[in-house]
Amino acid sequence: MAVADEKFMQVSMGPQHPSTHGVLRLLVRTDGEVLSSVKPYIGYLHRGLEKIAERVTYPQFTPFTDRLDYLASMNCNLAYAMTVERLLGIEIPRRAQVIRVIMAELNRISSHLIAFGSLSSDMGAFTPFLFGIREREAINDLFEMVCGARLTFNYIRIGGVSQDLPEGFTDRTKEFLDYFPAKIREYNDLLSYNSIFIKRLADIAVIRPEDAFDYGITGPNLRASGIRWDLRRAEPYLVYNELDFDVPVGRGEMGTTGDAWDRYMMRIYEMEQSAKIVGQCLGMLAPGDHTAKVPRVLKPPVGEAYVRAENPRGELGFYLISDGSTKPYRLKIRTPSFANLSIVPKLGKGVMIADLIAIIGSLDIILPEIDR
Amino acid sequence: MIGLIGHVTSSLAHAGPLVRLLVTVVIMLVSAMVVLAVALLYEGAATYAERKVAGDIQARIGPNRVGPYGLLQFVADGVKLLIKEDIIPFYADRWLFIGAPYIVFTASFAAFVPLSYSEHVSVADLNVGVLYVVAISSVVSMAILMGAWGSNNKWSLFGGMRAVAQIISYEIPIVLSLLAAVILPASLDMKDIIVYQSGGLGIFRWLVFNNPFTFLSFFVYFIAAIAEVNRTPFDIPEAESEIVAGYHTEYTGMRFAFFFMAEYGDMFVVSAIATTLFLGGWQVPIIGGLSMPVWLREVLEVAVFFAKVFLLIYVMMWIRWTLPRLRVDQLMDLCWKYLTPIAFFNLVGASVWVLLLHGRGVYDLVAGLLIH
Amino acid sequence: MEAKKIFDILSGKFGGSIQQLQESTFPPSVVVGSDAIVEVCDFLKKAEGLDFLSLVCLSGVDLKEQGRMTVVYHLGSMKHGHMIAIKVELDRSSPHVRTVEKVWPVANWYEREAYDMFGIVFDGHSDLRRILMPEDWEGHPMRKDYVYPKRYHTWDV
Amino acid sequence: MAGYFKRMFSSIKSIMAGMRVTIGYGVNPKTEVTQQYPEVRREPFDRFRGKLFVDINICTGCTACARICPVDAIVLKTVRDENKKLRPVVFDIDNAKCIYCGLCVEACPVDNCLYFEKKYEFSSYSREGLVSHFGLGEPKSAEKGPEDDRKEAVK
């Protein structure tokens, strides 16, 4: 640990701090309000999921993926299931694919609602946070209806989904989709286009495309820099290639392309698109099996695969090496927030303390995913 | 009050000087107690109101467990704060740390003294009332810095520095816009100012409607006053998402409660000043011109005064639960680039208006035209 | 671009350092000698038509049975949409490889993680510290022969 | 100078837009979405994953649930009773360890034997209080059968 010299004050922000989104510790050197360096210290939430994966069977690991990005458990389940399915070579029934897309997109909305809310509360406006929670609650109800859990779903399984959609799910989802756009307009009035909010975020912490590539930024943060890269379009999985949706990219509406406001706004735009996708998928639901025939004991053949999927926070990849037994030989989890956070020391130079909060909030990191 | 003391002492003219002194002290103590009781009751009610307003705005209910409608919540809060452990950090500067809350509270409480609650109800009718309030409320900034420095905590220090910079900067637009108002009645005595605003159905001769400059002044004053009492969007000294809790990070129990109550006390004082100077103080609108018994008039006047003050406090709360927080430099921008120039402009404009039109307001001019 | 073609380009450029193409894996992987890794990565990033601008994932793998450790670099190109894995095989007893931090800055953290978990030393790394485990932790937990400690400081683990 | 005023007015306008939204909620008490928990209890959906329950009388003692459990929350011990059937003498579910993933319920081969109740209020003052015991206990007169101490065979 560097010894603070006289000119600077060294402040340890976290691991217990109101706005580090978990147990992140930032060692900050400041000159008054201006930061001269930021050093993230992570690992406070390290549970050794990769090690656990080596001692549980393939299906047993699914609940653990819930605990990667707990705000987007469905997406994590999905990416893991896709990885194992690729090694096993299983084809998924169409109905299961459509259900998976519905779940993934609903979860994307609920995750972005938290991103929206937590950024707003970081910026000092607490009301939008509760509004975001309110709409998320409706989605949680839908999830509870489908799989019985509200946070750690363990719903998307190897081979399909654990249960078929319940009675009344479609109507309830449609009801939600009907009123959701009005809520987004409300968010925009309340927060997105609020001039104080824009002032706080526009032109702050601009990530240029080169930096985004260098630091492995993915997801909405990458698209905010103006790069149209979305795995749902670039490497379509499930039924995404049949769906009509846009991939919003940052245009620097309020400042520079790739600034914090663009990153924030990507999430609002993506919620709109996800709602659109869910609407289309509800129409595509045809009777069929909700899961493929999967043997009771899974023994993928020897091999390795790196499979990735678009998570709300970026690219979630599982690098799985199978030695032909019932347990993974090695499972490396490439999480989006880990790479997204690694740019913070670069962005955090020369900004103010309040901006650092905006940077962390706009990158929308989530700690269990970083520490695994 | 001074009047009352004078009245009593003159009727005690035959008694010795010691008795007169004693009586004076007793009267002063009793009146201080009354004001203190009113202030504490108000502060309790205000914390309850704040939470209820926040609840309403955030689509929830707010406190409703203690007493009917949760009305006794503030009593419970007070008891909780009283019985909490009082922690003084080991490395704190004890005297500064212990002294700060008392000074904050005293300064905030002392500002209640010259307010004119109705024609005959006031603690002390100072002929420099406005000046006195402005002066005494800037003692708060010193006390905050004492507490912040004394805590020996980096977050506290940040908060203290921010608070001092902010409060001192915002004094300038406040004083300038108050000046624009007081040049019309040409008095700093609260009662004189209110009396000046009588007539015009008790509404139209308010100073805020007197001329366009005082109208603007009111808004400049109100914005600056929100900053003066450190409330969102200007709550950077205690911005909980950035610097944990700012200057009162290390305070617990009753010491914290003093800071907390001082904030609400300040809210009342700035709203009362705005009411007195711009909104006609205790002038009863419409029915004020009718003849009625003195006691009824007094009651009405007090009620009107408090209604106006609480309306302004409600607006402050409404703003707090809507807007995000400004950054430190943007806060200074707002003060020095917007509020201060506008306040200067108002002052000049109002002075010219007074010179040219001999103090006649818009209402007088219009009324004059109609009569002719 | 096809993996075979990338392999050919690399072989033409770096000759013997490019050891093997494994097409059975997904994405196909190229085994590269550990001395040439930085140059290969730099070439892959900058070469026209390859443009592997992003280091998607960097994983350490402990192949205890074979007495080796592997570092796997998953590279992706957002321009062309192709992916490839580069593998470097290291001696398990003293795994050393040069850092690619200069090529992709994100490798800084990935390599720290691989160091933390497997004890793979990345020569030339600017800040090779533990990242997830506590700084005074002993051993590298993801190794296959890792023995769980009974105690850490005052806690029973 | 024109920009100065334009900025000022656009700021005021955007702030007003936000204020309109909040006052809409502030004055309309019907917008409240919260429930008063102890008085109003929300009925969970049918598939709700609450506390695990075992109908021990139809349990066959197959240990499928204990084997699939990723966190070893289920402790299951069986002995052969006089009819050569497996008797679950110990069936403990540690609700503190349980992650409510539902794998055990799906693994259970008997209908309505192991399932989730809709119960979500089972807090306790001790860790022991969070363990539900379902086991039938030792049979009175039975020769000790081969104990199937779970897990060992699996892990």
CATH number of the domain bearing residue A187 = 1.10.645.10
A78 is a domain residue: yes
D15 and D64 co-located in one domain: no
Q: By three-state DSSP, how is residue A11 classified?
A: strand
Residue A191, domain member (yes or no): yes
Among B125, B122, B219, which residue's Cα sits nearest to residue B180? B219
Interatomic CA distance for residues D155 and D139, integer angstroms: 28
Flag if D34 and B57 touch (Cβ within 8 Å): no
Cβ atoms within 10 Å, residue D71: 16
Name the stretches of chain A with pLDDT < 70: 1-5, 20
Considering only the beta carbons, identify the residue of B55, B318, B338 that sits closest to D19: B318
Q: Which residues contact B216 (CB under 8 A, 6 or more apart)?
A: B342, B345, B346
User: Do D26 and D56 belong to one domain?
Assistant: no
Q: Please tell me the distance from the alpha carbon of residue D152 to that of residue D155, in angstroms, as a whole number.
A: 6
Checking if the pLDDT of B339 tops 60, the result is: yes
CA–CA separation, B136 vs B131, rounded Å? 9
Would you say A120 and A188 are in contact if contact means Cβ atoms under 8 Å apart? Answer: no
| Confidence band, pLDDT 50/70/90 cuts, at residue B10 | low
The domains of chain B are located at 84-371
* Beta-strand pair C54-63/C68-76: antiparallel
Place of tokens 């220090």: B157
**Cα dihedral B18/B24/B26/B31 (nearest 10):** -170
**Structure tokens, A300:** 């993928």
Could you give the number of structural domains in chain D? 2
Q: How far apart are CA B333 and CA C67, in angstroms?
A: 64
**Greatest extent of chain B over all pairs of C-alpha atoms, in Å:** 76
Q: Is residue D23 a part of any domain in this protein? A: yes
Does D56 lie in the same domain as D7? no
Taking CA atoms, what residue in A is nearest to C146? Answer: A51
Helix (H) or strand (E) run with residue C57 in it: strand C54-63
The torsion region of residue A163 among left (phi > 0), alpha (psi -120 to 50) and beta comes to beta
Q: In this structure, how many other beta carbons lie within 10 angstroms of the beta carbon of residue B155?
A: 24
Contact A70, A368 (CB under 8 A): yes
Asked whether the bond before A15 is cis by omega within 30 degrees of 0, the reply is yes
- DSSP letter (8 states) at residue C125: -
- Which pLDDT value is given to residue A3? 52
Cβ separation D33–A134 shorter than 8 A: yes
Closest CA to C120 of C56, C72, C52, C49: C72
Over residues C57-62, mean pLDDT: 88
> Contacts of residue A193 in chain D, CB cutoff 8 Å?
14, 17
Mean pLDDT lowest among A253-267, B324-338, D71-85, D117-131: D71-85
Mean of the pLDDT values across residues C71-99? 86
Residue B5 confidence class, pLDDT cut points 50, 70, 90 = low
Q: Using one digit for the tens of pLDDT, what is the confidence trace for B166-210?
A: 888 888 899 888 888 888 888 888 888 888 887 777 777 788 888
pLDDT of residue D145: 47
Amino acid at A358: A
For residue A192, the 8-state DSSP code is I
Chain B residues with CB-CB distance to D27 below 8 A: 56
pLDDT of the residue at D154: 40
Convert the pLDDT of each residue in D15-39 to its tens digit. 888 888 888 887 877 778 888 888 8
The answer to whether B173 and B335 have CB atoms below 8 angstroms apart is yes
Neighbours of B230 (CB within 10 A): 27
Which residues of D fall within a CB distance of 8 Å from B55?
Answer: 32
Pair B335, B227: CB distance under 8 Å: yes
Q: Is residue D38 part of a domain?
A: no
Contacts of A261 in chain B (CB under 8 A): none
Contact partners for chain A, using 3 or more CB pairs closer than 8 A, are B, C, D
B51 at interface of A, judged by CB pairs closer than 8 A? no
Bigger pLDDT: D83 vs A225: A225
Do chains D and A have 3 or more beta-carbon pairs under 8 angstroms? Answer: yes
pLDDT for the residue numbered B142: 86
Query: Inter-chain contact A319–C62, Cβ cutoff 8 Å?
Result: no
Q: What confidence score (pLDDT) does residue C139 get?
A: 84
Token look-up 């159905």 returns B201
Q: What radius of gyration do chain D's Cα atoms show? A: 27
C56 Cβ under 8 Å from any chain A Cβ: yes
Q: What is the pLDDT of residues C107-157, one digit of tens each?
A: 888 888 888 888 888 888 888 888 888 888 888 888 888 888 888 888 877
Q: Which domain holds residue D14?
A: 2-31
Chain A's closest residue to D70, CA to CA, is: A60
pLDDT band at B39 (very low <50, low <70, confident <90, very high): confident
Q: Are D15 and B338 inside 8 Å of each other by CB?
A: no
CB-closest option in A126, A191, A196 to B326: A196
Whether A302 is in a domain gets the answer yes
Alpha-carbon distance B324 to nearest alpha carbon in chain A (angstroms): 4
Contact between C58 and C71 under an 8 Å Cβ cutoff? The reply is yes
Chain B residues in contact with D15 (beta carbon < 8 A): 322-323
Percent of residues, chain D, with pLDDT higher than 70: 89
A247 touches chain D (CB under 8 A): no
Which residue type does A72 have? A
pLDDT at D142 over 60: no
Per-residue pLDDT tens digits for D49-61:
888 888 888 888 7
> Is B10 within 8 Å of chain A by CB?
no
Alpha-carbon dihedral B261, B266, B272, B277, rounded to 10 degrees: 180
- The verdict on D124 and D82 lying in the same domain is yes
**Is residue B6 predicted with pLDDT exceeding 70?**
no
The total number of residues shown for chain A amounts to 372
Distances (CA, A) of B144 to A33, B44, B140: 18, 22, 6
- Three-state DSSP at C147 gives coil
Chain A contact for B324 (CB, 8 A cutoff): yes
Give residue D33's Cα distance to chain centre. 25
Optimal mutation site among D15, D101, D108, interface A, most CBs of chain A within 10 A: D101
Contact B57 D29 (CB under 8 A): no
Cross-chain residue pair B325–A17, CB shorter than 8 Å: no
Q: Is A94 exposed, middle or buried (0-12, 13-18, 19+ CB in 10 A)?
A: middle
The rounded mean pLDDT for chain B is 84
pLDDT at residue B363 in the model: 77
Rg (CA), chain B: 22
Q: How far apart are CA A344 and CA D5, in angstroms?
A: 36
Q: Please check whether residue A160 lies inside any domain of the structure.
A: yes
User: Residue C132 — φ and ψ, nearest 5°?
Assistant: -100, -40
- d(C-alpha B122, C-alpha B192), whole Å: 13
Nearest-by-Cβ selection for A59 from D14, D103, D155: D103
- Within an 8 Å CB–CB cutoff, is residue C117 touching chain A? yes
Residue B27 to residue B36: CA distance in whole angstroms: 14
CB B31 within 8 A of CB B154: no
- The DSSP output letter for A188 is I
Residue numbers of the domain that contains A125: 49-371
Give tens-digit pLDDT for B73-96: 888 888 888 888 888 888 888 888
Residue B45 has pLDDT above 80, yes or no: yes
Structure confidence by residue, pLDDT tens digits, B274-296: 988 888 888 887 776 677 787 88
Looking at chain B, the whole-number percentage of residues with pLDDT higher than 70 is 95
Q: Does C17 touch chain A (CB under 8 A)?
A: no
Picking from D10, D18, D101, the nearest residue to A190 by CB comes out as: D18
Q: For residue D148, is pLDDT > 60?
A: no
Number of structural domains (chain A) is 1
Write the pLDDT tens digit of every residue in B148-166.
888 888 888 888 888 888 8
Nearest to D32 among B61, B322, B338 (CB): B61
Q: What is the spatial distance between Cα B126 and Cα B112, in angstroms, rounded to a whole number?
A: 12
C62 reaches A (C-beta below 8 A): yes
Strand arrangement, sheet containing A314-322: A303-311, A314-322, A328-334
Q: Is residue D80 part of a domain?
A: yes
D17 in the same domain as D84: no
C77 touches chain A (CB under 8 A): no
Q: A93 and A291 in contact (C-beta within 8 Å)? A: yes
Rounded mean pLDDT, B217-237 = 87
Query: Is the predicted pLDDT of residue D143 greater than 70, yes or no?
Result: no
Indicate yes or no: CB of B59 within 8 angstroms of CB of D26: no
Q: Is the pLDDT at D152 greater than 50, yes or no?
A: no
Beta bridge partners of A26: A13, A40
In chain D, residues with a C-beta closer than 8 Å to the C-beta of A70 are none
> D62 and D6: one domain?
no
Tell me which chain A residue has its CA closest to the CA of residue C64.
A329
Report ipTM (2 d.p.): 0.84
* CA distance linking residue A22 with residue A70, whole number of Å: 12
Contact A17 B244 (CB under 8 A): yes
Both D57 and D20 in one domain: the answer is: no
Nearest by CB: D26 against B57, B61, B323: B57
Token pair for residue C4? 């075979």
- For every residue of D60-123, DSSP letters joined together read ----HHHHH-TT--EEEEEEE-TTS-EEEEEEEEETTT-----HHHHH--STTTEEE-S-----
β-partners of residue A332 are A319
Helix (H) or strand (E) holding A280: helix A260-284
Q: What is the DSSP letter of C131?
A: S
What is the Cα–Cα distance from A259 to A247, expressed in whole angstroms?
18
HEC-encoded secondary structure of chain B = CHHHHHHHHHHCCCCCHHHHHHHHHHHHHHHHHHHHHHHHHHHHHHHHHHHHHHHHHCCCCCCCCCCHHHCCHHHHHHHHHHHCCCCCCCCCCHHHHHHHHHHHHHHHHHCCCCCECCCCCECCCCCCHHHHHHHHHCHHHHHHHHHHHHHCCHHHHHHHHHHHHHHHHHHHHHHHHHHHHHCCCCCCCHHHHHHHCCCHHHCCCCHHHCCHHHHHHHHHHHHHHHHHCCCCCCCHHHCHHHHCCHHHCCCCHHHHHHHHHHHHHHHHHHHHHHHHHHCCCCCCCCHHHCCCCHHHHHHHHHHHHHHHHHHHHHHHHHHHCCCCCCCHHHHHHHHHHHHHHHHHHHHHHHHHHHHHHCCCCHHHHHHHHHHC
In a domain, D24, yes or no: yes
Q: Work out whether strand C83-91 and strand C29-32 pair parallel, antiparallel, or are unpaired.
A: parallel
Q: Judge whether A204 and A260 are in contact, CB under 8 Å.
A: yes
Do chains D and C have 3 or more beta-carbon pairs under 8 angstroms? no
Whether D96 maps to a domain, the answer reads yes
Among C53, C74, C81, select the one facing A213 at the smallest CB separation.
C53
CA pair distance B97, A36, nearest whole angstrom: 30
Among all chains, which residue has been given the structure tokens 């894995």? C85
In the predicted model, is pLDDT for residue D141 greater than 70? Answer: no
Chains in touch with D (3+ beta-carbon pairs under 8 Å) read A, B
The whole-number pLDDT of residue D93 equals: 87
The per-residue DSSP string of A299-349 comes to -PPSEEEEEEEEETTEEEEEEEEE-SSSSEEEEEEE-HHHHHHTTHHHHTT
Q: How many Cα atoms are found within 13 Å in the side-chain-facing hemisphere of A368?
A: 14
Q: Which positions in chain A touch B154 (Cβ < 8 Å)? A: 9, 11
Residues of C in contact with A48 (CB under 8 A): 141
